[in-house]
Structure 1
Amino acid sequence: MEGECKVMLDNATVDTDARTQTTQSFKPSSKLTTALLLFTLCLAAAAAAVLVLNRPAKSPGQDEETFDLHHTLRQISNVRAAIHLKGEYNPDRKDSVEWKNQVDQSHSQGELRLEDNEIVIPRNGLYFVYSQASFQVSCSSNADYDEDDTTSRPMVHLSHTVQRSSMAFGSADDRPSYQTILHSVRTACQKTESSESDKEGKWYSAIYMGAVFNLKTNDRLKTIMQEKMLRNLEDDPGKTFFGVFAL
């Protein structure tokens, strides 16, 4: 029994010494290095995951060129809708000027379009609608009028109107009806801040209108002018225009 106890004590002493040597051989510096290595790997994995999640989804089998094209088209589709038209006199039209797109500074984008001399609204939303008509009017039909007496001059009334067609207005025969949304009247041959005459007795006057409206999909906008005044329209660039842009 004494021999066995001695052997067991000796074995316990050996095991204790071994554990002590193992603990001493594992230096604190090794633990710190391992921890830093694991932390670095975790950061790299997290960065890779963020890049993958932020990249737009690509369908299976889609090559890189097609993917880039689709991504570009999606960006273009988010362009704010806008249209700006130039007005020109057309004797075949009796109630409005002829509106032109892609001429001089005129342009369109975002699905707003010109159709049958009317602007078509692509979707519901708030839009700023504006228009200007410029005229050159002769006020010297009465040769005896006094230059300083406005009562002896022939008065010329200019008008400009923008109308809206919408199914939201309702109609008994399901046909769209038009309602006036912008209208302005001005008297020419009178001295005002926005009009002036030349030596030949011709007066130049511009009528500008603009306001914000809540429009619906497929609404249509058109202009109305007096037939007798259309021949006096100023259609040089920047003088007569019609436009809409989304807010």
Structure 2
Amino acid sequence: MWKVSGSLLLLLALGSGAVLFTWFFSGRVENTNPSGQTRAQSGSDRTDLQETLSRISSGAKAAVHLEGSCDEEDGGGSGGGQRLRWRADQGQAFDQGGFRLWNGSVVVPRSGLYFVYSQASFRVACGAGPVPVPLSHGVWRHSDSQGGGAPLMSAVRSACRGPAPADGRGWYDAVYLGGVFQLRRGDRLWTETNRPTLLETDDGRTFFGAFAL
């Protein structure tokens, strides 16, 4: 009888172990995809992942890079001329972290230190003599804390400083600006150029941007 009882107890233990092993293994299979990665268990898990990704993206440093294009001003060919327009949808342009382009100005998303930069490239058809042509480019800031607009930085260069180049295309020159500034949320940045009709905007030669430090 002891042998029979021992055999029955052994069979019972083996059966219980098989049931537990089957239950555990089936649960692992249901929760694992073919590559061995655990799947999301419910809609609440997916929501948590979306919230995490949202926090990561919102924490990304604010940055914007715009490329310039020359558009005809109202008036067409009767003296309308050209003006520099900044675009976020061409070439290498982008914006992230809350920066936005509004009415030709870049709106600062939050207060802090920013590196602001811009370049204006010009092609000047010089005359017969070396008569210098001034080229100016500047970045302006409008801040409610300062009560209006004020120049942030600017520079002036002179083209046609000597005989015209042999290719007949005139002088090529560029004005570059860059510096670190303490800006406030809602500040607006824009540029002013004295000779927009001479601007070269192909291949990213004229640009404007800023990024948080």
TM-score with structure 1 length normalisation? 0.63
**What is the letter of the counterpart of residue 100 of structure 1?**
R
8 Å Cα contact 1:95-1:225 kept in structure 2: no
CA distance in 2, matches of 1:169, 1:211: 19
The residue that corresponds to 2:185 in the other structure is 217
- Structure 2 CA distance for partners of 1:92 and 1:205, relative to 1, 3 Å: same
| 1:149-207 per-position Cα deviation (integer Å, ceiling 9, x unaligned) | xxxx122110001100000113xxxxxx110011100010126xxxx934215000000
**What is the letter of the counterpart of residue 130 of structure 1?**
Y
8 Å Cα contact 1:96-1:224 kept in structure 2: no
Report deviation, 1:67.
1.1
CA distance in 1, matches of 2:168, 2:82: 28
| 1:80-126 per-position Cα deviation (integer Å, ceiling 9, x unaligned) | 10000000111218795100002110000000111111000011100
| Structure 1 residue 246 corresponds to structure 2 residue 212 | yes
CA distance in 1, matches of 2:182, 2:109: 13
8 Å Cα contact 1:95-1:224 kept in structure 2: no
- Structure 2 CA distance for partners of 1:189 and 1:109, relative to 1, 3 Å: same
The residue that corresponds to 1:9 in the other structure is none
CA distance in 2, matches of 1:230, 1:128: 24
The residue that corresponds to 2:141 in the other structure is 164
Which runs of 5 or more residues in structure 1 are unaligned? Answer: 1-60, 146-152, 171-176
| Structure 1 residue 84 corresponds to structure 2 residue 65 | yes
CA distance in 1, matches of 2:117, 2:83: 15
Which runs of 5 or more residues in structure 2 are unaligned? Answer: 1-41, 75-80
**What is the letter of the counterpart of residue 112 of structure 2?**
G
The residue that corresponds to 1:100 in the other structure is 87
CA distance in 1, matches of 2:53, 2:82: 42
- Structure 2 CA distance for partners of 1:84 and 1:62, relative to 1, 3 Å: same
The residue that corresponds to 2:51 in the other structure is 70
CA distance in 1, matches of 2:64, 2:71: 21
| Count of paired positions | 165
Three-state SS of the structure 2 residue aligned to 1:231 is helix
Three-state SS of the structure 2 residue aligned to 1:105 is coil
- Structure 2 CA distance for partners of 1:81 and 1:198, relative to 1, 3 Å: farther
| 1:121-141 per-position Cα deviation (integer Å, ceiling 9, x unaligned) | 0111000000000000011x2
| 1:211-236 per-position Cα deviation (integer Å, ceiling 9, x unaligned) | 0000001000010111xx21111011
**What is the letter of the counterpart of residue 180 of structure 2?**
V
Runs (4+) of structure 1 exceeding 4 A deviation are: 93-96
Three-state SS of the structure 2 residue aligned to 1:67 is helix
- Structure 2 CA distance for partners of 1:244 and 1:96, relative to 1, 3 Å: farther
| Structure 1 residue 205 corresponds to structure 2 residue 173 | yes
Three-state SS of the structure 2 residue aligned to 1:221 is strand
Of Structure 1 and Structure 2, the greater strand share is in 2
